[in-house]
Structure 1
Amino acid sequence: MSQSHYRALLSLGLPIVIGQIGVIVLGFADTLMIGHHSTTELAAASFVNNMFNLAIIFSTGFAYGLTPVVGSLFGQHKVSEVGRTLKNSLAANTVLAAIVCLVMTILYLNLDRMGQPDELIPHMRPYFMVLLVSLPFVLWFNGFKQFSDGITDTKVSMWILLSGNILNIIGNYILIYGKLGMPELGLLGAGISTMVSRILMVIAYLVLFFGTRRYQSFREGFRLGKINRTDFSLLNRLGWPIAAQMGMETASFSLSAIMVGWLGSAELASYQIMIAVSQICFMMYYGMGAAVSVRISNFLGQRDIVNVRRTANIGFHIILIMIICTSIPIYLLRNHLGGWFTDDATVAAMVAQVIIPFLLYQFGDGLQINFANSLRGIADVRLMMLFSFIAYFIISLPLGYLFGFVFDWGITGIWMAFPFGLTSAGIMYYLRFRYKTGKGV
């Protein structure tokens, strides 16, 4: 019985993980190409990307509100209701896109007031604006992705992500360095390539959903269903707490990037490199966590609480194996990683010194990813906001300032705070899930 669960979870989760690896490769390629073009541009990209990562992950969290709804309806074979719910989700994501773009515009107007090095601002501004234009397409893509993942059709989003990211990498090479007769745009070129690939990925989903037989039964529900208060309210009731939880987690990294910027451009460049490395682990674990959420929501629709709990436990076993498989090579390559991204010896040395605190938080990261997704699968998301606030704003960020500036440990001190925040979040999510499933949800 357990073996069938492992197989089912891996079959569902591996396409998501592979799609996430595509995102990771894109992040690596961006950082490598920009870093070798200019260390100043790499530092500028670090700051802007961290701001947009916060907006994107917050928005992705909101889209995750669709997963338990679709998963539960799909588990009950209510196909037309799935299509209608997707329509309401896209409407909700459009409203959120307008709100997020407004907030990011305000940040753009205040870039020069955030204490960052003056030489970075001219590189930050155009790059920021191009990414801002592409932001609504991220939200629309997320809506379609959560729909297809929720009906266990995870290979579609995998292929779209991989194709989009390959186009992005090719566009980066052409526009950053000015190949094939194009102008050498540096960091701005990376932004333009990202924008174009995001637009094309949404177009691909639109063509598949509205132009193929694959989603015909769902399309009927989408066409006939109306945007209604019940679905809209449910998606908002689930989406906002998840968005807040994921947003606070990401904010602990984004706000830490601001503190790193106070230390200097070299520190900020090394932080960007380590964020690219950390996304290898995070996105892989999160791909499996997303599969855990889908499987749990399917079982919840069938009122099978035994398999709800079994899926969460098996998911964590798989993530633990993934932690071991990623941590060992990163540790062995700790003295070489920085040199892959930049020719600056100072930046490369800083990367090597933060590997240990990075490895220390992998268990906590896996724990919180698995049980946060488990709670999403059973649609128990409200208390996660409180848990996240405690873990990241009460524990992690103050410790980052304490270790980095009061104890004068610099960038290593800021990284040392993350194990405390992520592990405490994971423990709280685990205890809540055990309590809820023990009661029968």
Structure 2
Amino acid sequence: MNLKQYTKEFSYNFRLAYPIILGMVGHTLIGIVDNIMVGKLGSTELAAVSLGNSMIFIAMSLGIGFSTAITPIVAEGDAEKNDTKIRSAFHHGLFLCTILGVVLFTLIMFAKPIMELLDQPADVIALAKPYLGWVAFSLIPLIMYQGYKQFADGLSFTKYSMYAMVMANVLHVGMNYVLIYGIWFFPKMGIIGAALGTVISRIFLVMFMHIMLSRRNDLKRFFKNFSFDEIKSTTIKKIINIGFPSAMQMLFEVVLFTASIWLCGNIGKTSQAANQVALSLSSLTFMFAMGLSVTSMIRVSNQRGLGDFKKLVVVARSIFLLAIILETIFALLFIAFHSFLPHIFLNMENTGQILDNTEVVSIASKLLLIAAVFQISDGIQVVVLGALRGLQDVKIPMYITFTAYWVIGFPISYYLGEYTEWKAQGVWIGLLAGLTFAAVFLYLRFHYLTKKLINNSFSNT
């Protein structure tokens, strides 16, 4: 097989992926805007928002991971021209996403006392609790939005989530500004204002998405005559069977990276700050791989629906190759600018902080060299995971990701971070080991399954 048959798929892959990438950057921007605006109020307020969002982030990963079950079923139905399958996946998926949003909100409200056990200052916890309650409520519209988004993605209409996210972000900045600082006749609400800004923007996010999709003439048939009588236990079971392992896969990775924050915090505040700098940069570049992962899921599902398994392999490998090229470019940029990039996050002119900041830059620049390598592993594992979801193969990948992150990655991170001179670098070497193991074994799983599908299709002809 020559390289040209892979590269000719690049332009279509990227056209499908770029709106998803921009939408995901929009997701991260909501948190960044909160941090920037709240940071002006004081360090206690910023710590409270950070503490609250760490719990939200874990719940959000479950909701987003679960909702990905809708896309492969819709994409397969789209390729088969099967409207019944598409409508069923959309209605059942949205129904389950709404229930999951309510469940996650309820769980976080009951989990609030956990903050007392995290050894955080009392004034931080006092501010974080009411903030967490409101932002937890915003999970309901957010997970509902995911139901709409995954439906649209499955039909290859990837631009709508980007449009909705841009509109929600503009609204979010405006609402935050007036509610946090008390502009015009609005009361000055501090971090509660930030939380309400997030709630309002996420309610409008799902409304924007509903209006845009339901007004398309070619989609109106999927929005008409919804009835609870249509909800069938067999379809619910099918979505849960794909959604639950997908949610677990995302949870295993998110909790590993959350554990890295905790481990670096144990080492010291400069290590924690350096970890945050390196994590912010690598998270931004990871959004490109995440966009390609959804593209992989859509296109593999389409080819599965068409029953063209040879083309499926070509399409999937073209996306894997595109991810490797993009992540290698980011890796080279990280290597070239590893000493410069940490300065963006720090005020080096603050003489009172000069010693701490110099140490943060020194640690962060070394972490970026490790991040350069794990960019590639992280990119490969997430796009292959997308292809496996497209094949509706989720249980074995769930076991692979658990082994990679918690049997291999975390123990290495813990040992090297706590018991060797590597410290924060050791924590990141553990992350690299886990991601690399996941990338290799997920690809082997994909290769095994597609080879089997191709052989079976030959034997049936």
CA distance 1:334–1:43, change in 2 (3 Å): farther
Offset of residue 283 of structure 1: 1.5
Who is 1:355 aligned against? 368
Q: Over residues 151-201 of structure 1, what are the superposed CA-to-partner deviations in whole Å (9 max), with x where a residue is unaligned?
A: 011111111112212222333344445545655544443322222111110
Structure 1 stretch 52-61 or stretch 263-272: which is displaced more? 263-272
Offset of residue 4 of structure 1: 4.4
Asked whether the equivalents of residues 83 and 225 of structure 1 are also in contact (C-alpha less than 8 Å), the reply is no
- Asked if residue 95 in structure 1 is aligned to residue 99 in structure 2, the reply is yes
1:259 to 259, 263, 275: 263
Structure 1 stretch 403-412 or stretch 237-246: which is displaced more? 403-412
Structure 1 stretch 317-326 or stretch 361-370: which is displaced more? 317-326
Q: Over residues 20-39 of structure 1, what are the superposed CA-to-partner deviations in whole Å (9 max), with x where a residue is unaligned?
A: 23234444444444445434
Letter in 2 for 1:382: K
Who is 1:196 aligned against? 200
Offset of residue 220 of structure 1: 3.9
- Asked if residue 302 in structure 1 is aligned to residue 315 in structure 2, the reply is no
Offset of residue 335 of structure 1: 4.1
1:113 to 117, 123, 129: 117
Q: Root-mean-square deviation (CA), in Å?
A: 2.6
- TM-score for the superposition, normalised by structure 1: 0.91
1:38 to 42, 59, 63: 42
Q: Report the Cα distance in structure 1 between the residues aligned to 2:97 and 2:81, rounded to whole angstroms.
A: 25
Q: Report the Cα distance in structure 2 between the residues aligned to 1:116 and 1:352, rounded to whole angstroms.
A: 28
1:278 to 275, 282, 286: 282
Asked whether the equivalents of residues 84 and 225 of structure 1 are also in contact (C-alpha less than 8 Å), the reply is no
Q: Over residues 314-363 of structure 1, what are the superposed CA-to-partner deviations in whole Å (9 max), with x where a residue is unaligned?
A: 10111122213333444444445444445455355354443222223111
Q: Report the Cα distance in structure 2 between the residues aligned to 1:219 and 1:245, rounded to whole angstroms.
A: 31
Offset of residue 137 of structure 1: 1.3
Who is 2:331 aligned against? 327
Q: Over residues 385-420 of structure 1, what are the superposed CA-to-partner deviations in whole Å (9 max), with x where a residue is unaligned?
A: 111111111111122211211225443332332111
Offset of residue 218 of structure 1: 2.0
Asked whether the equivalents of residues 249 and 397 of structure 2 are also in contact (C-alpha less than 8 Å), the reply is yes
Q: Report the Cα distance in structure 2 between the residues aligned to 1:410 and 1:292, rounded to whole angstroms.
A: 36
Q: Report the Cα distance in structure 2 between the residues aligned to 1:340 and 1:32, rounded to whole angstroms.
A: 14
Offset of residue 272 of structure 1: 3.9
1:363-402 correspondence runs (5 A): 363-402=376-415
Who is 1:318 aligned against? 322
Identity %, equivalent residues: 27
Who is 1:166 aligned against? 170
Asked whether the equivalents of residues 267 and 417 of structure 2 are also in contact (C-alpha less than 8 Å), the reply is no
Structure 1 stretch 132-141 or stretch 26-35: which is displaced more? 26-35
CA distance 1:264–1:126, change in 2 (3 Å): farther
Letter in 1 for 2:131: Y
CA distance 1:236–1:214, change in 2 (3 Å): same
Structure 1 stretch 68-77 or stretch 98-107: which is displaced more? 98-107
Who is 1:154 aligned against? 158
Unaligned 5+ segments in structure 1 are none
- Asked if residue 72 in structure 1 is aligned to residue 76 in structure 2, the reply is yes
Q: How many residues align?
A: 441
Q: Over residues 28-70 of structure 1, what are the superposed CA-to-partner deviations in whole Å (9 max), with x where a residue is unaligned?
A: 4444444454344444433332322221112111101111111
Who is 1:412 aligned against? 425
Q: Report the Cα distance in structure 1 between the residues aligned to 2:186 and 2:437, rounded to whole angstroms.
A: 49
Offset of residue 270 of structure 1: 4.5
Who is 1:144 aligned against? 148
Q: Report the Cα distance in structure 2 between the residues aligned to 1:274 and 1:163, rounded to whole angstroms.
A: 29
- Asked if residue 206 in structure 1 is aligned to residue 210 in structure 2, the reply is yes
Letter in 1 for 2:312: V
Q: Report the Cα distance in structure 1 between the residues aligned to 2:41 and 2:344, rounded to whole angstroms.
A: 13
Q: Secondary structure at the match of 1:361?
A: helix
- Asked if residue 131 in structure 1 is aligned to residue 135 in structure 2, the reply is yes
Who is 2:20 aligned against? 16
Unaligned 5+ segments in structure 2 are 348-352, 455-461
Letter in 2 for 1:291: T
Q: Report the Cα distance in structure 1 between the residues aligned to 2:305 and 2:9, rounded to whole angstroms.
A: 17
Q: Secondary structure at the match of 1:440?
A: helix
Who is 2:241 aligned against? 237
2:447 to 428, 434, 440: 434
Letter in 2 for 1:367: I
Q: Report the Cα distance in structure 2 between the residues aligned to 1:108 and 1:304, rounded to whole angstroms.
A: 50
Offset of residue 11 of structure 1: 1.8
1:122 to 120, 126, 133: 126
Q: Secondary structure at the match of 2:9?
A: helix
- Asked if residue 293 in structure 1 is aligned to residue 306 in structure 2, the reply is no
Q: Secondary structure at the match of 1:213?
A: coil
Q: Secondary structure at the match of 1:354?
A: helix
Moved over 6 A (4+): none
CA distance 1:409–1:42, change in 2 (3 Å): farther
Offset of residue 128 of structure 1: 1.6
Structure 1 stretch 122-131 or stretch 305-314: which is displaced more? 122-131
- TM-score for the superposition, normalised by structure 2: 0.87
Letter in 1 for 2:141: F
Structure 1 stretch 78-87 or stretch 174-183: which is displaced more? 174-183
Q: Report the Cα distance in structure 1 between the residues aligned to 2:396 and 2:311, rounded to whole angstroms.
A: 23
CA distance 1:353–1:29, change in 2 (3 Å): farther
Offset of residue 216 of structure 1: 1.1
Offset of residue 119 of structure 1: 5.0
Offset of residue 19 of structure 1: 1.7
CA distance 1:395–1:177, change in 2 (3 Å): farther
Offset of residue 300 of structure 1: 0.3
Q: Report the Cα distance in structure 2 between the residues aligned to 1:412 and 1:183, rounded to whole angstroms.
A: 45
